[in-house]
Amino acid sequence: MRKLFELPVTYFLAAACFSGCTATTVTDQAPAMATPASSTAMLPQSPLRPPVIGRNAGISAGHPLTTAAAVEILQDGGNAFDAGVAALLVGGVVEQDLYGIGGEALILVYPVAEGEVTSVTGQGWAPAAARIDDYLRDGRDLQGQGLDPSVVPGALHGALTVLERWGTMTFEQVAKRAIEYAEQGFALRPRTADAIRRDIDFINQWPFNRVMWLKPDGSFYEAGDTIRFPDMARTFRRMVQAEREASRNGGRVSGIIAARDRFYKGDIAEEMVAFLKENGAPYAIEDFAEFYARIEEPVSTTYRGYEIYKQPFNSQGPTLLQALNILENFDLQAMGHNSADYLHVVIEALKLAYADRDSYYADQDFVEVPAAGLLSKEYAKQRAAEIDMRRSQRAFVAGDPLPFDPDVDEWSYWVAGEGEPVADLASVDFPGSLKDTSHIAIIDEDGNVFDSTPSGGWIGGAVVLGTTGIGMSVRGEQFWLDKNRAAQLRPWSRPRYTLTPSIVFHDGQPFMAVGTPGGDNQEQTILQTLLNVIEFPADWYPNLHSAIEWPRVQTLHFYASFWPHDAGFNRINIESNVGAPVIEDLERRGHEVRVVPPFRISGCSTAVMLDPRTGSRIAAADPRRDCYAAAY
């Protein structure tokens, strides 16, 4: 077991093997080849950002203003959950190239008072009238623009559920900055200005999108310009009004519920549904009024003394857990960080996990998923034995978890098998990842943890619903229009989403919250960050930025979650600073390699940590984007 900050002599010997030792594995499931010294990775470089460490709180998010909003709430006496909701609201205003208020927010919380992690699924569902047969008959698809792939906005329900159950402040208090930025404006960052230009053809199709994203004369906003969203501000203010009226007699919780109900059941919902009907989308008021953010137990696994919590199988989150279970059968430290052996086995473990994801994961309100089997350690040993350290796996083949599952003994849906085609995609990444996502991680003074991955409702596809200022989520693009697939479109079902917050414990105590944007690549970013932290602590502590900045690899060996579900079997992207000897070794093993510049693989890992040695809060943010970390 790797105990963080307890580093015996043997560990330093392993760490010293970065530049010239022979790597081996120590498992009988998947024997390793000996790797020549030239195939070990280059030494990690000095971090680009300084350590961010404070005694009271750590915050990391996808935009400096989002991070600042959380800090402000904490310093005003709020807890991690108040701060997290404030950050979600501000992010939904200022980060709309990545996430808008009409999108979704997937959340994990750890309230110290309860002593357990809880999952809040703020993921919208399809309307009750949604039918695969109708799409196929009408020649429609789920391409991620417009109203055909739309689902009910889930982010606000998820956020206000957290505020109601675990927060201490009112909606008005936590929405203050979001309302200010929407009403009075904020400076547009370059990547948002770029997104407006990139998506201008879509914006021009919808009158209220033009009002929101172009100047009154039709010209573009430039980076640094002040942009305002008065319609969105009015929507927020109507929710505040409902809260004030209800809280006079009912108190804080009643006020929050009233604010949420006005959005989902009141006049705001009526306006959204009226717009949707006028534009041919099959929504009824019940699709909004009956919607709820699902509160449920997370799933988890252990890895070398750490406990990792993820959202259940309606998300891709368990992919990370399956990959960790497989990798636990290998001695990654002995291989050396980012050596050819190390990267090969990480890639191959992810391939196996993705094949299971694409076969078995789905909305568990509709599908009985063999969850226990998929997360079984014995099943993972069986899958680990399939890894050939000498050759990359070109086939896309799921395992059979049913013999390891006590509850599920049959499976009637498609399963990935030997007959999958090998794709040759020219792009560096799947197009769906360009719209992307954000992430927020917070640990407060009391040790409460908030971790959320919000997304959707973005510039590049979300139709602005009239004068509400709300862009409608297109997360339905992650459904399949195929009745043989477990993750198919169904009435009031939630797509098998990519958004994937993570909370990590060590010795029964909260240790870390981590997440990232990146579409299907999210679990790969989180996996490599976690392995850097757990397996190689001497090389980054106490500057968590180092563990985030180290070069990454990315496999495209899966069916993309985004419509039209392209595949990139056997394809990998790798950042060039891994080093030419390692890259050449991976090519010799049969990987189809595309080399990209440093810091160019999709993702922006944002993380906070409770230092078990000192009790300080450590925060870090990825330089691959303009993510921002703070502590105090």
- Residues 561-575 have pLDDT tens digits of 999 999 999 999 999
Identify whether residues 452 and 583 lie together within a single domain.
no
- Mean pLDDT along residues 490-499: 98
Same domain, 155 and 232: yes
Asked whether residue 427 is domain-assigned, the answer is yes
Q: What does the mean pLDDT of the chain come to? A: 92
Domain final residue pick, 478, 508, 541: 478
pLDDT confidence bin for 32, thresholds 50/70/90: very low
| CA dihedral of residues 169, 171, 174, 177 (deg, nearest 10) | -150
Say if 503 falls within a structural domain.
no
pLDDT higher than 80, residue 222: yes
DSSP tag of 316: S
Residue 157 lies in a domain: yes
Is the pLDDT confidence value at 13 over 80?
no
Rounded Cα distance, 400 and 339, in Å: 31
Give the range among 41-45, 313-317, 397-401, 512-516 with minimum mean pLDDT. Answer: 41-45
Q: Are residues 415 and 444 in the same domain?
A: no
Mark whether 131 and 264 lie in a shared domain.
Answer: yes
Q: Which pLDDT does position 46 carry in this prediction?
A: 80
Mean pLDDT within 230-257: 97
Q: Is 271 helix (H, G, I), strand (E, B) or coil?
A: helix
> Based on the domain organization, do 425 and 471 belong to the same domain?
no
Residue 27 or residue 15, greater confidence:
27
Which of 389, 342, 583, 361 lies closest to 488, judged by CA?
A: 361
Identity of the residue numbered 94: V
Q: Are residues 444 and 358 in the same domain?
A: no
Q: Is the predicted pLDDT of residue 214 greater than 50, yes or no?
A: yes
Give the alpha-carbon dihedral of 349, 355, 358, 364, to 10 degrees: -70
pLDDT tens sequence across 260-287: 999 999 999 999 999 999 999 999 999 9
Which CATH number fits the domain that encloses residue 534?
1.10.246.130
For residue range 321-356, list pLDDT tens digits in order: 999 999 999 999 999 999 999 999 999 999 999 999
Residue 67 and residue 186 share a domain:
yes
Q: How confident is the model at residue 454 (pLDDT cuts 50, 70, 90)?
A: very high
Residues 391 and 449 occupy one common structural domain: no
pLDDT for the residue numbered 127: 98
Asked if residue 509 belongs to a domain, the reply is no
Q: What pLDDT, on a 0 to 100 scale, did the predictor assign at position 421?
A: 63
DSSP per-residue string spanning 103-146: SEEEEEEE-TTTTS-EEEEE-----TT--HHHHHHHT----SSS
Specify the DSSP class assigned to residue 19: G
Task: Please state the domain count of the chain.
Answer: 2
Q: Is residue 52 part of a domain?
A: no
Tell me which amino acid residue 392 is. S
| Between 430 and 443, residue with greater pLDDT | 443
Domain match, 385 and 440 both: no
DSSP 206: S
pLDDT tens track for 52-101 = 999 999 999 999 999 999 999 999 999 999 999 999 999 999 999 999 99
pLDDT in the model for residue 399: 98
User: Taken in order 242, 246, 247, 251, is the CA torsion positive or negative?
Assistant: negative
Mean pLDDT of 419-437: 57
Q: What is the pLDDT of residue 39?
A: 66
- Could you tell me which residues come within 8 angstroms of residue 426 by beta carbon, excluding any fewer than 6 positions away? none
Report if residue 39 sits inside a domain: no
Distance CA 94, CA 92 (A): 6
Whether pLDDT at 45 is above 90: no
- What confidence score (pLDDT) does residue 14 get? 24
Residues 429 and 442 in one domain: no
Residue 531: which domain range?
Answer: 317-433+516-558+565-631
Task: Give CA–CA dist 406/316, Å, rounded.
Answer: 22
Percent of the chain with pLDDT over 90: 89
Q: pLDDT per residue over 293-323, tens digit each?
A: 999 999 999 999 999 999 999 999 999 999 9
Instruction: Name the band, by pLDDT with cuts 50, 70 and 90, for residue 235.
Output: very high
Q: CA-CA distances (angstroms) from residue 534 to 44, 119, 476, 540?
A: 16, 24, 36, 10
The rounded distance, in Å, linking the Cα atoms of 561 and 479 is 8
Q: Residues 159, 260: one domain?
A: yes
Side-chain half-sphere CA neighbours of 568 within 13 A: 21
With b for 16 or more beta-carbon neighbours within 10 A and e for fewer, the 404-414 pattern comes to bbeebeebebb
Looking at the chain, the whole-number percentage of residues with pLDDT higher than 70 is 90
Please give the helix or strand (H or E) that residue 609 lies within, else none.
Answer: strand 606-610
335 close to 380: Cβ distance less than 8 angstroms: no
Is residue 153 domain-shared with residue 257, that is, in the same domain?
yes
The pLDDT value recorded for residue 31 is 30
Task: Could you list the beta-strand ranges (E) of 278-384.
Answer: 294-296, 299-303, 306-310
At 27, the pLDDT band (50, 70, 90 cuts) reads very low
Residue 237: the pLDDT is 98
| Per-residue pLDDT, 429 | 58
Burial of 226 (0-12, 13-18, 19+ CB in 10 A): exposed
Is 305 among the domain residues? no
Query: Do the domain assignments include residue 35?
Result: no
